[in-house]
Structure 1
Amino acid sequence: MSVSIALSVLDLVPVRTGQTSAQAMAASLDLARRADDLGYRRYWFAEHHNMPAVASTVPPVLVSAAAARTNRIRVGSGGVMLPNHAPLIVAEQFAALEALAPGRIDLGLGRAPGSDPVITQLLRQSGTTGDVDRFPDNVRDIASLLTAEGATVRFTSGGTYDVHATPAAVGTPELWLLGSSDYSAQLAAALGLPYVFANHFSGDGLERALDLYRSQFQPSETLDAPHTFLTANAVAAASDDEADSRMLPQARMMARLRGNRPLVPLETVEQAAAAEASDGLAGPMLDGIRRRWFIGTGPDVRDRVARFAAAHGVDEVMISPVAAARDTEPLDAASGRIQTLELLAA
């Protein structure tokens, strides 16, 4: 690369046609092991619910499994959708993960629901836990709970009560805020937290969000200067044609999401090519995707990612490897995604 940058991985644990959840998870854990071997900095799991093509519903469980199968790489959430969960539960889960894999745990927090309104309502049946307006307070509570000192509950009637995420913490997960809006950038700046712009989801407003974060940043006990990186969808292959072929199933899924069409498991390369020839589902999106995503041969994608990082002043890019599988590839492996990571790390 022309600029030295760190690479990381964002995994939604894609589920392809005919694949079970167990096989999809096995493929992702194999990908995490390979990322560890290749020198990637982090491996994060997203939180999404009730989607046939996505098995990353419970980041803490997947983080635990990945931590047990890797040696060096940082593992974490990208992110836990905090309004779906009680802050104490999140703090306890990630404090336990930190105890299991000291110095390797990241806790990325987001404010979005990660699903449709019906599932959101089911996830938030616990009452005030699901109050999105309390998101800043809940982030502060988690930050306190994760420390060795813990947090203090103050009763309106007088008196206090000490609360700890674990009885005897000796380390703290690295806390990040995730988002794709001005709100998340400004909150991360106000709290003095590191920030990730979800460019893989929506590149709109990237420059403004980074400017707000950097210009409004307030130093904290854990961070004295702004610290940020970006996410990006990528497919690297031996040829441009192969990269385009492996990109198409994910593009078609995005077209389904944006067009409010019924969701299905991720198509294979061959299924997507046959369907696109008749229904043109992703056709109107393809030019835009080719501009925003990083698709091509290894050297080309590596160079473009490096220039992207340099243009936005970051030293790390988190890749979401969206290369789909072929019909003949094993159901418990992620050959296209592994190829992407290997070519980018070359």
Structure 2
Amino acid sequence: MESEPFEREKHVTFLEMMYRLLPHQYQTQEINRLTLAYFVVSGLDLLRALHRIDKDAVADWVLSLQARPSDSDQVNNGQFYGFYGSRSSQFSPQDDNNGASSSGISNLASTYCALAILKIIGYDLSSIDSELLLKSMRNLQQPDGSFMPIHTGAETDLRFVYCAAAICHMLGNWSGMDKERAKEYIINCQSYDGGFGLTPGAESHGGAIYCGITSLRLMGFLEEDVLSKNVSSSIVNVPLLLVWCLQRQAGDGGFQGRPNKPSDTCYAFWIASVLKILGGHKLIDQNALRGFLITCQSQYGGFSKFPGDLPDLYHSYYGFTAFSLLEEPGLNPLCVELGMTDLAAIGI
């Protein structure tokens, strides 16, 4: 029996709806509005429908969320001058001693999403004050090589190492981080089973593996298609990692994020991307994976986390990326390291 089709036009309509007005269920995600916008813009680019949005309006909105010091004396005050996650994030609910509102806090994840959006729509990133952004980003790197997402302190793990590496790569300037220290932190996150945890000693997780491997690739410490070369010279244990990733494809064809967990749409991107970097993506049962993803495709457009659930923007985007990796007709090729199309990644 012929499998169901990938409903490209319905997916475009789904993203267009999200572009115009987010449903009320996303109110709790207001502080992550830039991230949601990244899913929409990059998703439309993957679906070859980027012309459906007003690129100038998008650029103006993203640039309005950039953090800037109020005067030159504050440049070296330890604050991170990246991008705020949303309009409300630009303002702090707490007042200072004079009753005036203090500035909000920009963060690494929103900064990655902001630069990715601008790159996707063709904005010239050289117009951004990258020196200020990168100089202040170094304040977030810790002695062990990890990164905090905000300058006031928070958890440190591989997610924010990836954001820092992607930011430096997109800006073409690595002054924002100590690559050697970051490399050592990533290596220390590889576990005995071959996978990577978000922190050293943590349980191996598909998302953590993506962050670690793509960071090493962006920083130039890991060759592409390493399986076709001398894996013994790699800085990570490639054979164990390959086995861990391949074992995550479950009996229903989908990928699970950890052992003994149900298959989830998003891991078709997180884990398949790692396999592509390693050169092991041809070992995936692609027909089975496509079959699982189709069961998560909504009749109204978009993808859900599990079969039968309602679609959401996060899993929809990673459903689109997964189909791009499966070379679905009508989709643009994906640059897995940056999470955008190849054309956007190289600036065409």
TM bucket by the smaller chain?
A: under 0.3
Structure in which a larger fraction of residues adopt helix: 2
Higher strand residue share? 1
1 or 2 for the larger relative contact order (CA 8 Å, sep ≥6)?
A: 1
TM-score (norm 2): 0.26
Structure-1-length-normalised TM-score: 0.26
